[in-house]
Amino acid sequence: MGIIGAMRNVVLFHAAGCHLCKKARDVLRAELGDAFEEVDISGDEALEARYREWLPVVEIGGERAFVYFVDPASLRRKLAQSQA
């Protein structure tokens, strides 16, 4: 899978009013443009139970890659590893 394919497997789980979520979104946009999915967990009991205490959560290929913040260099490294 190429880097574009890897980016399509990046998901940001977030909630309204989460300032850390905004920072994570800003990093993802700077690195990936719009090539990631966003999931608002607000009001979904299952997602709230799974993600609320860890927000923001970024998954790459279904695996949890980041919680609380996203480091750009680590993101690039993890994306490169996911395409290998």
Cα distance from N-terminal residue to C-terminal residue, the chain: 7
Q: What is the 3-state secondary structure (H, E, C) of the chain?
A: CCHHHHHCCEEEEECCCCHHHHHHHHHHHHHHCCCCEEEECCCCHHHHHHHHHHCCEEEECCEEEEECCCCHHHHHHHHHHHHC
Using pLDDT thresholds of 50, 70 and 90, give the confidence band for residue 6: very low
The percent of residues in the chain predicted with pLDDT above 90, rounded, is 83
pLDDT of residue 82: 83
For the chain, the structural domain boundaries read 3-83
Above 60 in pLDDT, residue 38?
yes
The CATH number of the structural domain formed by 3-83 is 3.40.30.10
Please answer whether residues 31 and 75 qualify as being in contact, where contact means their C-beta atoms are separated by less than 8 angstroms.
yes
Q: For the chain, how long is the longest CA-to-CA vector?
A: 36
